[in-house]
Amino acid sequence: MRREFNKAETSASAFYRLLTATVVPRPIAWVCSRSAAGVDNLAPHSFYTVASVNPPIIQFTSVGEKDTLRNIRATGEFTVNLAPEELFEQVNATGTAFTESISEFDAAGLTREPSLTVRAPRVGESPVALECRVHRILPMGDCTLVFGEVVHVAVSEEVLDGVHPRIDLLRPLSRLGLDEWGTMGQIRRIKRIRVDDWPGHFRP
């Protein structure tokens, strides 16, 4: 038996809670932007993904109009920082709706690290920073999709195995439903199966 949720018969907020509880786990883009007045903003966004490989573009969604979106519209630049498990409280603190004159860096006790290619800083305590320039801003329903071309990537030497970031050292947080968050579970490895290795009747 399944419970069926018809959109027409379900409230918008209940439908939203269903989506955010079932599209899981979501990675967290810890987005740093600088306002036109020079205030460094930092806010987590879990509607976040890789949108294009070449050019390399990431995408996050602003639900409504927020300081992050206003700053990015004004400057065309931002950084996306990885949200690691050891910064759980700080990441959550930067999701507080401070007035635009307050920097979440100061409120949460985080360090600004200068970026190499954009004016918005990196989060010094985070192991990965993606420096981005706006590719496109796309309104969608009551949301706005921000597409950023990744022009530079900075990864802490401490999490690298050669040139490869080690997932067990990155320890990214994820977002689940309600106020639930996830941490990395067991890491499993498996090779993709080549179609030629399947038994005969499944081959094209």
Ligand X SMILES: Cc1cc2nc3c(=O)[nH]c(=O)nc-3n(C[C@H](O)[C@H](O)[C@H](O)COP(=O)(O)O)c2cc1C
Query: Which residues make up the interface to ligand X (CB under 6 A)?
Result: 28, 41, 43-47, 61-63, 66-68, 92, 95-97, 175
Residue placing its CB nearer to ligand X in the complex, 44 or 84: 44
Shortest distance, position 45 Cβ to ligand X, whole Å: 4
Do the Cβ atoms of 146 and 67 come closer than 8 Å?
no
Beta strands, E only, 46-105: 48-52, 57-63, 77-82
Nearer to ligand X, 143 or 154 (CB): 143
Q: How far is the CB of 53 from ligand X (least distance, A)?
A: 22
Q: Which is nearer to ligand X, 88 or 198 (CB)?
A: 88
Nearer to ligand X, 67 or 77 (CB): 67
Contact 42, 104 (CB under 8 A): yes
What's the closest the beta carbon of residue 58 comes to ligand X, in angstroms?
A: 13
Minimum CB separation from ligand X for residue 97, in Å? Answer: 4
Whether the upstream peptide bond of residue 55 has omega within 30° of 0, thus cis, is yes
CA 4 to chain CA mean position, Å: 30
Largest interatomic CA distance in the chain: 65
- The DSSP result for 39-58, as a single string, is -EEEEEE-SEEEEETTTTEE
